Structure 1
Amino acid sequence: MTPRLFDLSSTWDLHAAPEAVWAIIADVDMSWPNWWPDCSFAAPLVRTEPASTSQEDILKATTAYLNFKASLGYTLTITIHPTKVVAPSEIEFDAGGHLEGTGRVTLSAEAEGKATRMDIEWKVRPTQRWMNLLTPIAAPAFTAAHTRMMRQGEKGLLRALGEGAPKQPK
């Protein structure tokens, strides 16, 4: 049986220029654990020899091993390896570990460059046997846990940008 493909999307609306958002999400030290609650490094970064000293090439030569603690009590260890980097607007990456697949983050300028729409796409399959066994009945819970984890990431990024918490819809 082939594990189910989860096609997960999130959109974050950030009141900062794309360059400011990019500086945080695409730093060469992949410091997401500094601002994303329930995210930590599972291991040191692994970096091969980059093709050049550009940010793009350094990121493409880097693999991050990250733990994400879900609200349901489990922790997923995921590798993130950028495969395409177009500063300051797009990162595509391969994911491995407990979730295998691909991801993409796209930044779009809004409000005459003073705000950013950040679209995040994940197309992943769980690799853990327990997740695959439970997916037929637990997929909605896994998706809800992912949504909550992404909202925590959005709040953390807003704090890192100096914006505070996201605005609640009316």
Structure 2
Amino acid sequence: MNPRLFDLSSTWHLPATPEQVWAIIADVDMSWPSWWPDCSFAAPLTRTVSDSDSQEDILKATTSYLNFKASLGYTLTISIHPTMVVTPSEIAFDAGGHLDGNGRVTLSPETNGRATRMDIEWRVRPTRRWMNLLAPVAAPAFTAAHALMMRQGEKGLVRALANDAPLTKK
């Protein structure tokens, strides 16, 4: 049985500039677990020697291992390894672990640059036997659990952006 391909996409609308969003989502120390509910580190980051000290090269030399607890009660452990980084607009990555495939995050300015549209795409296949056995009937539930997890991530990022927002003088 070939594992089912899940082609998942989400769009987040964030009340911050692309540069502000980038500073949080492309943090070389991978701060996602600090703001994304039900996301935690599965293992320490691994980092090979980067080509330079640039953020782009450090990200491409880094693999993060994250747990995502789904609303259906299961936890997926996923490795994320950036393969292409264009500051502050795009990251492409390979995914491994319980989901095998790739993804892309693209940031686009909205509202005259004061807000950001973040498009997230995943093209992955489950590697867990039970998921592959249930996929023919459970794919809609898996997709709904993914959508809920992504909405929680968006809410967490909005809160993180509000906490990091510079104070404005009145």
Task: Give the TM bin, normalised by the shorter chain.
Answer: over 0.9
Residue 37 of structure 1 aligns to a residue whose secondary structure is: coil
Query: Residue 168 of structure 2 corresponds to which residue in structure 1?
Result: none
What per-residue deviation string (whole Å, max 9, x for no partner) do you get for residues 25-51 of structure 1? 001001100100000000000000000
Q: 1:124 — aligned with what?
A: 124
CA distance in 2, matches of 1:10, 1:21: 16
TM (normalized to structure 2)? 0.95
Superposed displacement of residue 10, structure 1: 0.1
Structure 1 CA distance for aligned equivalents of residues 31 and 50 of structure 2: 19
| Corresponding residue of 2:42 | 42
Number of the residue aligned with 1:61 = 61
In structure 2, how many angstroms separate the alpha carbons of the residues matched to 1:29 and 1:7?
Answer: 28
**Aligned residue type for 1:142:** F
1:116 deviation in Å? 0.3
Listed as ranges, the matches of 1:5-154 within 5 Å are: 5-154=5-154
1:112 is displaced (CA, Å) by 1.2
Residue 2 of structure 1 deviates from its aligned partner by 1.1
Query: What is the RMSD of the two structures over their aligned residues, measured on CA atoms?
Result: 0.7
SS in 2 for 1:24: helix
Distance of 2:23 and 2:51 partners within structure 1 = 21
- Supply the distance in 2 between the matched residues of 1:43 and 1:122 (Cα, whole angstroms): 22
Q: Distance in 2 between matches of 1:112 and 1:13?
A: 14
Give every structure 1 segment of 4 or more consecutive aligned residues whose post-TM-superposition deviation is greater than 3 Å. Answer: none
What secondary structure, in the 3-state scheme, does the structure 1 residue paired with 2:144 have?
A: helix
Query: Amino acid of the residue matched to residue 28 of structure 2?
Result: V
User: Is there any run of 5+ residues in structure 1 with no aligned partner, and where?
Assistant: 164-170
Shift of 1:15: 1.1
1:18: Cα distance to partner? 0.3
Number of positions where the alignment pairs a residue of Structure 1 with one of Structure 2: 163
Percent of aligned pairs sharing the same letter: 81
Query: SS of the residue aligned with 1:9?
Result: strand
TM-score when scaled to structure 1? Answer: 0.95
In structure 1, what residue type is equivalent to 2:108?
A: S
**Aligned partners of 1:161, 1:15: CA distance in 2, in Å?**
8
User: 2: CA distance between counterparts of 1:107 and 1:53?
Assistant: 23
